[in-house]
Structure 1
Amino acid sequence: MRLYSMPSSGNSYKVRLLLSLLARDCQIHDVEYLSPALDAARLAGRLPFGKAPVLELDDGRLLPESNAILCFLGEGTDYAPVDPVLRAEMLGWMFWEQNQHEGTIAVRAALQFYPHRRAQATPERMAELLGRGHANLQVMENRLAGRDWLVGEAPSLADICLYGYTHTAGPRGGFNMARFPAVNRWLARVAALPGYRGLEA
Structure 2
Amino acid sequence: MLTVYGMSDSGNCYKPRLLLSLLDRPFRHVEVSTRDGSTRTAEFLKRNPAGQCPLLELDDGRLLAESNAILVYLATETPFLPDDPFERAQTLRWMFFEQNAHEVSIAVRRSLSVYPERAGVATPERMALTLQNGLNALGVMERHLADHAWFGPGRPSVADIALYPYTATAGDGGFSLEGFPSVRRWLADLEALPGFQPVGWAPTEAA
Q: Give the TM-score normalised by structure 1.
A: 0.95
Residue 173 (structure 2) pairs with residue 173 (structure 1)? yes
Q: Aligned AA for 1:156?
A: S
Deviation at 1:41, TM superposition (A): 6.8
Q: CA 1:43/1:52 → structure 2, altered by over 3 Å: closer, same or farther? A: closer
Tell me the residue number matched to 1:144. Answer: 145
Q: CA 1:43/1:74 → structure 2, altered by over 3 Å: closer, same or farther? A: closer
Q: Distance in 1 between matches of 2:37 and 2:151?
A: 38
Contact 2:6 2:30 in 1 (8 A): yes
Contact 1:48 1:64 in 2 (8 A): no
Identity %: 51
Contact 1:6 1:31 in 2 (8 A): yes
Contact 1:79 1:156 in 2 (8 A): yes
Tell me the residue number matched to 2:160. Answer: 159
User: Where does the alignment leave 5 or more consecutive residues of structure 1 unmatched?
Assistant: none
Q: What is the number of residues matched between the two proteins? A: 200
Tell me the residue number matched to 1:113. Answer: 114
- Over the aligned positions, Cα root-mean-square deviation in angstroms equals 1.4
SS in 2 for 1:184: helix
Q: Distance in 2 between matches of 1:42 and 1:49?
A: 12
Tell me the residue number matched to 1:55. Answer: 56
Q: Aligned AA for 1:144?
A: L
Tell me the residue number matched to 1:192. Answer: 192
Q: Aligned AA for 1:164?
A: P
Tell me the residue number matched to 2:46. Answer: 45
Q: Distance in 2 between matches of 1:122 and 1:51?
A: 25
Q: Aligned AA for 2:31?
A: D
Deviation at 1:108, TM superposition (A): 0.2
Per-residue CA deviation, residues 72-127 of structure 1 (Å, 9 max, x unaligned), is 00000000111211110000000111111111010000001111111111112101
Q: Distance in 2 between matches of 1:92 and 1:71?
A: 12
Q: Distance in 1 between matches of 2:182 and 2:44?
A: 44
Deviation at 1:44, TM superposition (A): 5.3
SS in 1 for 2:120: helix
Q: Aligned AA for 2:161?
A: I
Contact 2:112 2:119 in 1 (8 A): yes
Contact 1:12 1:53 in 2 (8 A): yes
